[in-house]
Amino acid sequence: MKKISIGVIDDHKLIRQMWVKTFAGNDEIEITGESGTLQEAIEMIKIKRPDIVLLDINLPDASGLDAVSVIQKFSPGTRIIAVSMHNQPAYAKKMLRLGAKAYVTKNSSHNEMFKAIEEVMNGRVYVCTEIKTYFD
């Protein structure tokens, strides 16, 4: 079975390294690229075309909100999982409206991220439990 390819876009190097380490032992997932800016990410996405991008919504050169359409432009098949410190439902709703397929806060467990990946790969939308109860 083909591994799920994931690109990580987060402006904090330690966070990117933690995602790489989190997925390192998983036989079903591989990190195919990582970047700290949207500009770097575009180059990686054009070449790698990952199945999923973990997208921090706070980037130094762009908002993750704006990044959704840019990512979709260069790799329409890539599914976006927004990852954020913001736990307000308004952020999640906006990211999903813009085309992200999931929203996970940085307070979520790694098990919840695996669940988000599974749901998104199966064509469903996922919102983490921290803010799901506030959705209409």
Q: Where are the domains of the chain?
A: 36-51+62-105
Look up the pTM and report it.
Answer: 0.94
Confidence of residue 65 (pLDDT cuts 50, 70, 90): confident
pLDDT digits (tens, 9 = 90+) for 90-114: 999 999 999 999 999 999 998 999 9
Phi, psi of 34 (to 5 degrees): -150, 150
| % of the chain at pLDDT higher than 90 | 84
pLDDT surpassing 80 at residue 135: no
C-alpha dist (Å) from residue 99 to 19, 62, 76: 22, 17, 10
Q: Which residues contact 38 (CB under 8 A, 6 or more apart)?
A: 9, 59, 61, 62, 66, 67, 70
Tell me, what's the pLDDT at 63? Answer: 87
Say yes or no to pLDDT of 136 above 70. Answer: no
